[in-house]
Amino acid sequence: MNIALFGYGKMGKEIEAFATESGHQISARVDSSNSKESFDYSNIDVIIEFSKPEFAAENIRFAIDHAIPIAIGTTGWYDQLEDLTTYCNANKGCMLHATNFSLGVNAFFAVNRYLAKIMNELNDYKAEVVEIHHTEKLDAPSGTGISLAEQIIEEHQHYNNWENNKPSALQNKDALAIESQRLPKMPGTHEIKYTSEIDSIEIKHTAHNRKGFAQGSVLAAQWLVGKKGVFTMQDILKF
């Protein structure tokens, strides 16, 4: 594949390394020094988007307008997802959005959903989500943390929304707490905790580096080529 990278920070460079090792070519690198308009897209098969939340929507529309599939790893723009889904379908575009491209995290999503169904029957336990990332991460809570919380809310009748807060500081007693922590050199850790007076149940995913995100984004990009529509990682992995 010929890939255009929208966002060429640490994550973009990790994607480039993995894609090159896998036999693909990076034909455009868009960052603050190189605008997307400065490249020729005639030979581009797919765009991988890992820029910043404030640029994501514009970059998605650009990809759709140029009939190039786009795999989007940036989070913090999901308030525009409905409008962009409509725009993509109306213009016969192709986009895949993921709050986390890691294959391990997507397996963790499946475990989280299954556990939430079980815990829905055990009223003595209170749930919370904890997400820990590096200090450079711009959005809080993380997109992955929100996905985990929304999965629990869908499967657990006690919760009707989430708050980015510690459990002890929740404003709504029916809210699910997402606690965000920002620490140096943390690729990403997500924990689900169910706690009662008697015991606790915890599941956790810890990323050791960024390679898992790069692997998943290249897999998603490869899967998108030749397709039309709006997709997620579940369409690829079937978890």
- Residue range of the domain that includes 68: 2-101+211-237
How many CB atoms lie under 10 A from the CB of residue 32? 11
pLDDT at 169 over 80: yes
Structural domain tally of the chain? 2
Residues 10-34 have pLDDT tens digits of 999 999 999 999 999 999 999 999 9
Q: For residues 218-222, give the mean pLDDT.
A: 97
Beta bridge partners of 206: 189
Residues 20 and 91 in one domain: yes
Element of type H or E holding 53: helix 53-65
Residues 191 and 217 in one domain: no
Residues 121 and 59 in one domain: no
CA pseudo-torsion sign 177, 178, 180, 181:
positive
Residues 64 and 122 in one domain: no
Residues 107 and 201 in one domain: yes
Residue 65: strand, helix, or coil:
helix
Residues 162 and 181 in one domain: yes
Q: For residues 189-210, give the mean pLDDT.
A: 96
Residues 14 and 109 in one domain: no
pLDDT at 173 over 90: no
pLDDT at 138 over 80: no
> In the structure, what pLDDT confidence band is assigned to residue 151 with cuts at 50, 70 and 90?
very high
Residues 97 and 110 in one domain: no
> In the structure, what pLDDT confidence band is assigned to residue 156 with cuts at 50, 70 and 90?
very high
Residues 81 and 114 in one domain: no
Residues 87 and 140 in one domain: no
What CATH number does residue 114 fall under?
Answer: 3.30.360.10
- Structure-token pair, residue 100: 């986390």
Q: What's the confidence (pLDDT) of residue 137? A: 84
Residues 28 and 15 in one domain: yes
Rg (CA), the chain: 19
Residues 48-106 have pLDDT tens digits of 999 999 999 999 999 999 999 999 999 889 999 999 999 999 999 999 999 999 999 99
Catalytic residues: 133, 137
CA nearest neighbour of 52 among 83, 7, 98: 7
- Which amino acid makes up residue 219? L
Q: For residues 169-183, give the mean pLDDT.
A: 93
Residues 36-58 have pLDDT tens digits of 999 999 999 999 999 999 999 99
The pTM assigned to this predicted structure is 0.85
Residues 81 and 9 in one domain: yes
What CATH number does residue 12 fall under?
Answer: 3.40.50.720
Where do we find the tokens 């594949």? 1
Q: For residues 193-210, give the mean pLDDT.
A: 96
